[in-house]
């Protein structure tokens, strides 16, 4: 089964009403490859603004979701609230949530379970630090992250995996094509061995980490790279070039 190319744009804690309206307008007017699934993730404050103005066929993601029902959880957003607002995806396990906000593999796995079982898709992030890569522990670290989420979820159909080497996020450093493909292949191999061949064949694995309009086409050619999770470049016009990089 051919995996549909997927490009996500993570705005992180960036943007204003004016600038985000401009990004949405640019996407609405652009000629985008119809064979690519596009999802953008603005800050929570702007989720409804984006969903109201973004053309149909393009989806919106929250940058987080909580693993409990509605209730006394100040500052959090529930799965049912996302669904009520037409938000169909969430980003979970991003290294900034893991390292700055202390989310463990188990917390990320619990959130992933809650989101997928509630009908919200998850862009599930994994990746290693520079120290871990230099110590030769890249695959070990990612397999540990995969094992935690695999222990919690049974249905992988709503999960897209994003491999994001922490040392390449926002630094301008990019994993070489060979480095990226090696890790993507290792993730697919782990899924085949520990989940199922079907899940390994069908799950899309994205690359993230200083992806831009210049390096995306070469990365997109690799057989196990099924798209991108884009940070800073998703705020710029070149995001359209990244979406169209698989043509």
State yes or no: pLDDT of 69 exceeds 90. Answer: yes
Tally of domains within the chain = 1
The per-residue pLDDT for 1 is 60
pLDDT in tens, 82-101: 999 999 999 999 999 999 99
Percent of the chain beyond pLDDT 70?
100
State yes or no: pLDDT of 159 exceeds 90. Answer: yes
CATH label of the domain that carries residue 160: 3.20.20.70
The per-residue pLDDT for 170 is 79
CB-based burial, 211-243: b 16+ in 10 Å, e otherwise = bbbebbeebbebebbbbbbbbbbbbeebbbbbb
Give Cα 129 distance to the centre of its chain.
Answer: 18
Mean pLDDT of the chain: 96
State yes or no: pLDDT of 221 exceeds 90. Answer: yes
pLDDT in tens, 107-118: 999 999 999 999
Task: Give the Cα separation of 44 and 42 in Å (integer).
Answer: 6
pTM for the model stands at 0.97
C-alpha neighbours within 13 Å on the C-beta side of residue 200: 14
Report which DSSP code applies to 214.
Answer: T
Neighbour count for residue 188 (Cβ, 10 Å): 19
The per-residue pLDDT for 209 is 87
Domain extent, residue 106, equals 5-243
What average pLDDT score do residues 42-51 get?
Answer: 98
Please list the active-site residues: 94, 164
Single out the residue of 54, 57, 56 nearest to residue 35, CA to CA: 57
């Amino acid at each position: 089964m051919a995996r549909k190319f997927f490009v996500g744009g993570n705005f992180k804690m960036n943007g204003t009403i004016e600038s985000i309206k401009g990004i949405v307008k640019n996407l609405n007017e652009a000629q985008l490859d119809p064979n690519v699934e596009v999802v953008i993730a603005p800050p929570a404050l702007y989720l409804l603004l984006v969903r109201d103005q973004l053309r149909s066929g393009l989806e919106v993601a929250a940058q987080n979701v909580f693993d409990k029902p509605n209730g006394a959880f100040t500052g959090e957003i529930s799965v049912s609230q996302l669904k009520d607002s037409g938000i169909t995806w969430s980003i979970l396990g991003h290294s900034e949530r893991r390292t700055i906000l202390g989310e463990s593999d188990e917390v990320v796995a619990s959130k992933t379970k809650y989101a997928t079982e509630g009908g919200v898709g998850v862009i599930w992030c994994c990746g290693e630090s520079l120290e871990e890569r230099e110590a030769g522990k890249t695959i070990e670290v990612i397999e540990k992250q995969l094992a935690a989420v695999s222990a919690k979820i049974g249905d992988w159909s709503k999960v897209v995996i994003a491999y994001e080497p922490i040392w390449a996020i926002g630094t301008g450093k990019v994993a070489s094509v060979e480095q990226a493909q090696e890790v993507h292949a290792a993730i697919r191999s782990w899924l085949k061995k520990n989940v199922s061949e079907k899940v390994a064949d069908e799950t899309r694995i994205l690359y993230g980490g200083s992806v831009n309009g210049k390096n995306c086409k070469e990365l997109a050619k690799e057989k196990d790279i099924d798209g991108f999770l884009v940070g800073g470049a998703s705020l710029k016009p070149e995001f359209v070039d990244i979406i169209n990089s698989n043509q």
